[in-house]
Amino acid sequence: MPLKRASRGRRKGGKGSSGTIQCVNCAATVPKDKAKKVTSRLNLVEHQLAKELRAQGAYIASPQVTKWYCISCAIHFKVLKIRSAEDRRKHTKLRG
């Protein structure tokens, strides 16, 4: 049976089973190597105030937030884009 994706939809490699995580949006249990990871910074201070504080030499922390999405939620929130079969084939030819 032909493969749809070179990675079979996972980034596991040859390491056996991986742990599971829960999707941030729908709470579905997804293998960690199949879920999509999105990291972003959280602004604790609004922009104008932060600009003034930085001018005075203050350090403003912006913690990093990590979110894990299942495939369907990642597509819904536009983390992933749906590619045609031809585009998927081009990507696998470039890698291998």
Taking only the tens place, the pLDDT of each residue in 53-62 is 999 999 999 9
Kindly report which listed range (4-8, 16-20, 30-34, 37-41) carries the lowest average pLDDT score: 4-8
Of the options 3.10.50.40, 3.90.79.10, 3.30.1740.20, 3.30.420.40, the CATH number for the domain spanning 22-95: 3.30.1740.20
Region of 6 please: left (phi>0), alpha (psi -120 to 50) or beta: alpha
Give the pLDDT score at 91.
Answer: 66
Give the pLDDT score at 47.
Answer: 93
Q: Which of 78 and 9 is assigned the larger pLDDT?
A: 78
Neighbour count for residue 70 (Cβ, 10 Å): 22
Q: What confidence tier does 12 reach under pLDDT thresholds 50, 70, 90?
A: confident
